[in-house]
Structure 1
């Protein structure tokens, strides 16, 4: 049986896959990593649903193999309950810095870890 750190590591690995341009460009791969009840509040303040994210992510920045890539750092994670992991981390992307938080849910072994909620908060230039 996996321990809490295994769950956190698996959630981080899934989060990193979602930043991979090849995954972001594929609706099928994106859908496999998002919970059907997924919701995101993006850095813009816009709210995205599962359907909107699966449909639109291939056209968003970071989804092109020859474009800018997300540079994540400072991952921390905690198991909130069995099958529920909260991650926080930071990204740098195309000159922008953001603090991010996501919830990953694992309902069964077949589907594995899926992102249930994500929020990005922009960090103003010059802020620590």
Structure 2
């Protein structure tokens, strides 16, 4: 489980990088076709919206900690963590608790679900 723990954290953090977020090719590989995200405002969107939005977005700086990786099945893993996001031009960062689900598809881990819930600073 320790190796899987490291792999999933590395994949999650790879998605924090502006170079990854700006690459439709990388996003296509990392995001599952049936991907669902529940945004902070409660809106729901899928892979096509991610591929349209992220490459043109000014990526925030993301710092995360308190990772918890849980195996949900042979090819399904959940990761929970706390994140601090700092967007260019904002005076204060935003804090959230986050959850992603990664599934094994054709030999590669892909994110199929993500949710970030705003919370008080930690």
Task: Give the whole-Å Cα distance in 1 for the aligned partners of 2:29 and 2:67.
Answer: 22
Pick from 47, 56, 69 the counterpart of residue 44 of structure 2. Answer: 47
Change (3 A) 1:115 1:80: same
1:8–1:79 Cα contact (<8 Å) kept = no
Q: Between Structure 1 and Structure 2, how many residues are aligned?
A: 116
1:61 offset after TM fit, Å? Answer: 4.1
Specify the alignment match of 1:78 in structure 2: 70
1:77–1:88 Cα contact (<8 Å) kept = yes
Cα RMSD (Å) = 1.4
Matched, 1:115 2:114: no
TM-score (norm 1): 0.84
Pick from 5, 8, 31 the counterpart of residue 5 of structure 2. Answer: 8
Change (3 A) 1:61 1:41: farther
1:73–1:91 Cα contact (<8 Å) kept = yes
- Cα deviation 1:2-33 (Å, max 9, x = unaligned): xx332222111111111110000111111111
1:108 offset after TM fit, Å? Answer: 2.9
- Cα deviation 1:14-63 (Å, max 9, x = unaligned): 1111111000011111111101110000112221101111111123342x
